[in-house]
Amino acid sequence: MAIKRHICYVCAKGVAFGNNVSHANNKTRRVWRPNLQVARIVIEKKITKIKVCTRCLNAGKIQRAPRGTAAAV
């Protein structure tokens, strides 16, 4: 999977679009972005940085690489 801006590596959650609606029913466009965090993981014996949403992090869908060590897995 290609790493793109504002897309979760695990679940592919991305940007959602919609409107701000005021009390006077005026509508302006707005954007909802996922809460992405950078995580270091081991992919094919190499440590790689990926963007993962906090929902996937809390669910344990990825295993973070250990800090301060090489990718000798």
All residues at 6 or more sequence positions from 20 whose CB lies less than 8 Å from its CB, including other chains: 27, 28, 29, 30
Q: What integer is the mean pLDDT of 48-71?
A: 90
Residue 22 has pLDDT above 80, yes or no: yes
**Model confidence pLDDT, tens digit, residues 9-19:** 999 999 999 99
In Å, the largest CA–CA distance within the chain is 60
Residue 29 has pLDDT above 80, yes or no: yes
Q: What is the model's pLDDT at position 13?
A: 95
